[in-house]
Structure formats: C-alpha cells, structure tokens
Structure 1
Amino acid sequence: MRAPDWWKTAVVYQVYPRSFADSDGDGVGDIPGITSRLDHLSRLGVDVLWLSPVYTSPMDDNGYDISDYQDVDPLFGSLADLDALIAACHDRGIRLLMDLVVNHTSDEHPWFVESRDPSSPKRDWYWWRPPRPGHEAGSPGAEPNNWAAAFSGPAWQLDEKSGEYYLHLFSAKQPDLNWENPEVRQAVYAMMRWWVDRGVDGFRMDVINFISKDPTLPDGPVLPGQALGSPFAGSANGPRLDEFLAEMNREVGLTDRHLLTVGEMPGSTIELARHVTDASRRELDMVFTFEHVDLDVKPGGVKWDIADLPLPVLKRNLQSWQLGLADVGWNSLYWNNHDQPRAVSRFGDDSPEHRVSSAKTLATVLHLHRGTPYVYQGEELGMTNADFGSIEQYRDIESVNYYASAMGLGLDREAVMRSLLIKSRDNARTPMQWDDSPNAGFSAGEPWLPVNPNHTFINAAAAEADPQSVLAHYRALIALRHKLPVVSEGDFALLLPDHDQLWVIVRTHGDDRLLVLANCASQPVSAPAAELPDLAGARVLLATHPGRDGLDLLPWESRLYNLAR
C-alpha cells in the first residue's frame, strides 16, 4: 500500500529511454536496457523512476508524438518488457512514474486519422477550424489565429482535402486534442486507468495546463521582433483547467489510490501552483515551474536569446516559490531534465578545475530546498553539455528548426551555434556515460546521438570507484532526506539573499536546524560571521571538501551543518 503523501520524502529519477541503456546494439536505448541498470538507481537510493515516453510513435518529437497510448514502440521493446520493468522496480522498492502526453497526439493516431474526415464523429476530438474570415485557405494570414507553434512557424496546419486547419502547439505532427469534448476526456481517463491497473504508480503530465484553452481562440500578443503571436494568452491555463484536473483525479482515482501526479506547466504562476496543488482541491500533487529555467533569457526574448544570470536573481526566484507554497501545495525541485541543458554547464562551472565541486554544490543547494527533488539521468555523475561542432550532429527538432529559421533570417551562424551549444535539448540527450569504452557502455552499436567525448573520465564506473565522486555525494544527500525529517518537512529560510556568491539556507523542524553554506562561484569567498547562525558546536553532515571548516570557502565549496540548539 502507498501511504498518503509518500512522495514528500521521495527522490525521483528521470530516465530518457532513448539515451539510457541499449540492450540490443541498435544504438537506441530500450526498456530491457533500463531494467539491466536498475541496480544503479537502487544503490543511488532513489524512490521513483520517471519514464519518459515509450509509447508507439512515429518519433517526430522523440516519442512525445504518440500514435498508440496502450502499446510500446518496438524501438524500445514490448509491453511484456515494460511489465518486467515495473515488476523489477517494485522488487527494489522503486515506484514507476509514466509520462502522460494528452494535450496532443501524433497525426498518425487512429483518433486523428479518423478526424480528418469532416463527417467523422471524431472531427470534434481535435481543433479543426476554417480559414480566418475574408481569407482563402492557404493564403498568407489565413490561419484561424496568429498563434506560433513552439517548434517554429504557425500553430495551424492546412488540410488540403477539407480546406480547414488543425491546431498544433508543437510540431505539425502533434495535433492538439480538444478537451472541451467529454468523449476525449473519458477516452484519456480510461487509458490512464488501464496503466494504473498495469502497475504504474503515477503520472508526469506533459504541458498539462494546455488542455484548457480559451474556446474563442483569440489572437495572441506579438512580441518585438516576432512575426507571430504568443499562444500562451489563449492556449494555457484556460477557464476549465481546474475542472478538467479535478475530473481526471476523480475518474482515475489519483488521490484515492495515492498516485504521484506532477504537472508540467509552462507559464505557471505561484498562485496557479498553489491552488492546483492544494490537497483539498484534489487536482495535482505538484507542478514543474519554468520560471527559474527562463531567467537566463533576455527580457522579451526566446530561449536562444541568452542573458547573464546573477546569483541573487536565481536565489530570490526559488525563494519566492518556497514561500509561496509553504502553507499550501508542494514544490518540485529540479535543475535539468530532457528539455533543459546540463545543470553543471548552465548553473555551475564545468571546467576540469570546478566541475566536481560545482556539481556537488548545486545538488546540495537544490536538495535542501523544501519539495521533492528530481534527478535527471547523468546528473548524479556531473555529466556536462555536449560539444557539437556542426548542425549535422543535432537531432532535436526544436534545435534543427531554430537553426534553419535563423539561417533563413540571415542571423550570424557563429552566434546561433553558440546558442545551441548552451541551450539545445540535445545537451541532455547524449547517451548515459556508464564507462570509458568507445560508446560509454551505452551500446554495442553506433549511438543515435554522439556520445560526449568526456565519457572517458566522467562515467559511472569511475564514480563508483571514487568515494569523493559526484555520485557518492548524491547518495549521501538522498540518504539524509530519508533519515532526517527536517530535510523533507523543515521550514525554509534564505539568508544573504543579495550576496552574489553565497547561497545560505536554514531549514528548521522542531528542535532540528540545518544550515547550507555554499559558495556558488569560481572564486573564493569569506562568509560574514555576523550574518550567519552561530556555528559553535555545529557538526558538518556533508561537504564538498571534507576536513575543512571555517568561513573561508574555496571556489564551489559547500557544507551542510547540523546546528547545535
């Protein structure tokens, strides 16, 4: 039996199946490969495996375009393989979280294939609309509104046969489901119940706040330098979002069965997160905020317009979510995932001198916030961004489309490639680095995406042999969360919010108090004693540089203290 709120003391580990472990030598990771590596997760101490999509798919967006919700794509294995993975996880005390992608399907899903016929009962399962009044289908500006798709171009695709357009907020091969239709919702809930009965322990819900749209589909505001309108004004956080989430919870029994639910919600605010994760409303357990991973974007820009990120800005943003959800709801904590670049390259320092210490310090800071931490595969090894030198090495549809669009606009190629090096989703998708063999122990064949050359010294086998590795640090952090209620339940306080190097946190639970003292910079720093709790009698529980104490901190040095009372 699952206990209520069991996820508050849990740590979730995300696996991107395509890149985790390949069992059959075809260069693509698969489910048997994941099962073969479960002992790595068990030794790490994680409680939940979040499995990114393995459903049947044409793979236009690496599996987030689903053509059959109740089968496994042969690329990854079979339903029997997935059943075996669920059983093997449960044998190790690890729960399995499925990715739920129900804002859109593939255009090859039978539902959409049927909906292409204007007379089909499923026509209204998707957002089909005629051209804008006064315009002829296919002419410039004829799309029903001015929304831009996330992967470039308009969010509407013309169907030549019917003369109407369908909505796709992402790829043209990912048409949006019409959640206004109750038949759509009941079909989704039946599919979810089928997976729960099969043994899954919860769902990570892809862009779930997009399921409720403004049914009038209004034009979006056009930002400076953009040709199309932002869709977020009408496509996200719509008027029926709470209704749909509560109905899903009730129909599937999410709360009653103590299943973990986390909603990916681009554009979510603290206020929205508070009420959708308020336990009394029975909607979701937590959401993924995007605010902190959008802070390095220039104001009014897109993800590729990179800006400096001062530490006080990052600290204050995470503090606002800590305070905002302190009394209602719950935080999810993450630095990176399959859609974000590697944390140590983005927020730390991935140079040979500081990679290990900065990876450890970032882990300590994040895991000592209040909420449920998420570890993305390879993060526990301190894996870094890829170092691709040509556009031909990229596979991510968003990155490839951005490059083509930027070149068409005459942007500087060197600047565009630099943006890709820093922010491309492929940075997170290079194969897991298991050992120093030619393909990093990932596959006996040629990997679908190039292996990072630094796998010769950044890999799981080397980390296992090093008691001071990033992996050992993650194990210690996770063990502390399981052992000390103050880590999971304690109140949160941020000290020195304006300091441009120090990240200082106090956690309090009854008589227990912890202090995080972290230098988040590549230069040494002295902490101001007068602005810190008294460290007399304090005990160091975990440190990046064992054996050191005092207020003079080396670059990326951090310590977790148990404060005397």
Structure 2
Amino acid sequence: MNNVSGIDQLLANLSTDFKRNHLMTVGEAGGVPVEQAKRWVDSKKGYFDMIFQFDHVSFWEKFTVGKVDVAKLRVALTRWQSGLDNNGWNALFLENHDLPRAVSYFGNDQKFRSQSATALAMMYFLMKGTPFIYQGQELGMTNVDFNDINQFRDLDSQRFYREELAKGASPEETLVKLRAKSRDNVRTPMQWNDQPNGGFSDHQPWISSNPNARYINVANEVKQPDSVLNFYRQLIHLRLKDPILLNGQYQLIETHDHQSFVYQREENHVGYLVITNLSDQPATVTISDRYQNRQLVLTNTTEKQQSSTMALKPWAAYLYKYERN
C-alpha cells in the first residue's frame, strides 16, 4: 500500500476488525518514512503490528547492476531500529517475492556463497523485531542464470526486455540486468533435493528450477553441520531462548567503513555483540574494552579472535555474549 491521502481512514476501519479478531498484521508500507511510522505500528493506536519498509533495498534503480554500499545499509537499518524503539515493532527481512536473492543481491553467490549467506543472516536476524525468512533464503538459494527471455515469466521483466531492445540495447546486456534484478530470481521452485525440478514437483513447474538445485537443496544441507540451513536453525534457537534478543535495545557501533556492520543488543548490562564483515575483502574492527568479558556464541568461520582488534576474513560473522559492570 502507498502512503497517500485518505489511507488513514481506510486503515483505521480495517484495524478495528483486525484487533477485534486478535489478528497479527503486517503491512507492506511503501513510502512511509520512519518519522510517520509510529501511527502505523503504535502498540495501542497503530493500524498494524508491524510494517515492511524498503529503505535498505532501494539503493539503486530496479534493473541497474551493482552492489550495496554497506555504510548506507547501516544507516538505513539503524534509522528504523532507532525510530521504532519503544514506538513500534520492526519487520526484519532481506528477501521477498519482488526482490532478487539476498546472497546474490547483497552478498557474493559465487566465491563466498555460504559465508555471505550466513553473515547476512546474522546481521539482520538478531536485530530488534520479527525476522522473516523467504522460502529458500535459509538454504542460500541464488539468482538463476536464465539465458533466454522466454525463460522469464515476470511480465515486468519481459516488458523491460522489449523496451531496452527498442532503445538499441543488445539481448545479452539486457539479460545481464535481468539476471541481476528480475523478480523471477526468487520465484523459482523451492529446492528440496537433487531430483528433477529440485524435488518440487513430478511435473514441469510454471518456471524452470535453478540448475544449482543439484547441490543447493534441503536434503544436502540438513546433513551438513555448517550449512546455511543449520546456521539459520541456530539463529532461530538463540532468538527463542534468550529474551535479550527479543527486548534488548539495539545500538549501532560505528566502524566508519564500507565493509562491516557491528551492533549490540543489550538489557540490564548483559548483551550480545554482533560483528559482521559484509564484503569480499578482509576488514579490521576494533572492539571497545567494555566487551572484554565476551564469550563466543556463534560464528561462521574457524578463525579465533582473542584481541580487541579483530582481523575479519571476507564475510566473517561473530556473535558474542557479554556482561559488563
């Protein structure tokens, strides 16, 4: 829904029905700035329990090709964490039915597929709010390399292809853009096993399966202790067992770089420290003395970190629990 004139009265009427029936509601609220979000998700008067906002996935035009600036990502997500603190509740997400695969969009689905999928998972999943997982995200499913426009089903992608060719673009350069950003990337069938169609169906699905279903699939990842799937399971377990990851206050730890995303969740002087390198290059993060008494809870790497200056490998992620005086 869009933030247009007259929508408040409509949503107020809907909200009455929602609350009367004790329904949990999530609104897709394009164009709602964080400054106005309180009236949408206020615990008593808001229209919804939470809303999806798109600041962190709107850094460039739909069919341009490029990578996210991590510094801008920190600013966008922190703005909503701070803006709704004690005023509402965030809906946390990296993927949905209209976006490319997160590991391809934010991460590196070639050299660092598993590492970047798990680093991104830790980065967003432990923020304050309710995390959403889109089907296949928990496997690290990637964009699909369709090489013919007839393989695409999304009407918007087909329209873009025709318009670009009419402007003089070549089929190949247009397909490069579609392979990066088409919505069909997240609409390929769920990859259950290495059987035809990824085990999704015995019949030809409406859109082709990703060929990498041969090795990126549930049956494989269930058996691998360090798989993306089992990493997500550990994150879910942590959120369910410790109230700090439900109620703890979010605070960004500014690193003044374009690689790392570091923050804490804390309640009553006990908290979690989330440290991620969201880049293909090594990064250095210096940790304050206040976190000296920290214990490693979860990581996606075998590299041990003992000093306050941490040398992070590409797409390394660390979760520590700490207690301070």
Residues 258-295 of structure 1, C-alpha deviation per residue, up to 9 Å, x if partnerless?
Answer: 31111112222112322111123241111111111111
C-alpha separation between the residues in 2 aligned to 1:361 and 1:524? 14
Match of 1:157 in 2: none
CA contact (8 A) 2:294 2:321 kept: yes
- Matches of residues 361-510 of structure 1 in structure 2 within 5 Å? 361-510=119-268
Shift of the 455–555 alpha-carbon distance from structure 1 to 2, 3 Å rule, reads same
Matched, 1:556 2:315: yes
Gaps of 5+ in 2: none
- Residue 184 of structure 2 aligns with an amino acid whose one-letter code is D
Residues 464-503 of structure 1, C-alpha deviation per residue, up to 9 Å, x if partnerless?
Answer: 0001111111011111111111112111111125221111
Match of 1:283 in 2: 47
The one of 301, 304, 314 aligned to 1:545: 301
Offset, 1:397: 1.1
Q: Which structure has the higher relative contact order (CA within 8 Å, separation 6+)?
A: 2
The one of 114, 117, 128 aligned to 1:356: 114
How many pairs are equivalent? 321
Task: Return the structure number with greater helix share.
Answer: 2
Offset, 1:522: 1.4
Residues 38-67 of structure 1, C-alpha deviation per residue, up to 9 Å, x if partnerless?
Answer: xxxxxxxxxxxxxxxxxxxxxxxxxxxxxx
- Residue 12 of structure 2 aligns with an amino acid whose one-letter code is A
CA RMSD of superposed structures (Å): 1.6
Shift of the 437–308 alpha-carbon distance from structure 1 to 2, 3 Å rule, reads closer
C-alpha separation between the residues in 1 aligned to 2:39 and 2:289? 34
CA contact (8 A) 2:91 2:131 kept: yes
CA contact (8 A) 1:496 1:502 kept: no
C-alpha separation between the residues in 2 aligned to 1:242 and 1:497? 39
- Residue 314 of structure 2 aligns with an amino acid whose one-letter code is P
SS in 1 for 2:68: coil
C-alpha separation between the residues in 2 aligned to 1:399 and 1:334? 23
Offset, 1:423: 0.6
- Residue 411 of structure 1 aligns with an amino acid whose one-letter code is A
Shift of the 288–533 alpha-carbon distance from structure 1 to 2, 3 Å rule, reads farther
- Residue 309 of structure 1 aligns with an amino acid whose one-letter code is V
Gaps of 5+ in 1: 1-206, 210-236
C-alpha separation between the residues in 1 aligned to 2:144 and 2:252? 33
Match of 1:173 in 2: none
CA contact (8 A) 2:261 2:275 kept: yes
CA contact (8 A) 1:273 1:286 kept: no
Moved over 6 A (4+): none
Task: Report sequence identity in percent.
Answer: 39
Matched, 1:244 2:10: yes
C-alpha separation between the residues in 2 aligned to 1:527 and 1:282? 39
CA contact (8 A) 1:481 1:487 kept: yes
C-alpha separation between the residues in 2 aligned to 1:380 and 1:238? 35
CA contact (8 A) 1:337 1:376 kept: yes
Q: TM-score of the superposition, structure 1-length normalised?
A: 0.55
Larger Rg: 1
Offset, 1:412: 4.0
Residues 500-523 of structure 1, C-alpha deviation per residue, up to 9 Å, x if partnerless?
Answer: 111111111123211001111112
- Residue 321 of structure 2 aligns with an amino acid whose one-letter code is N
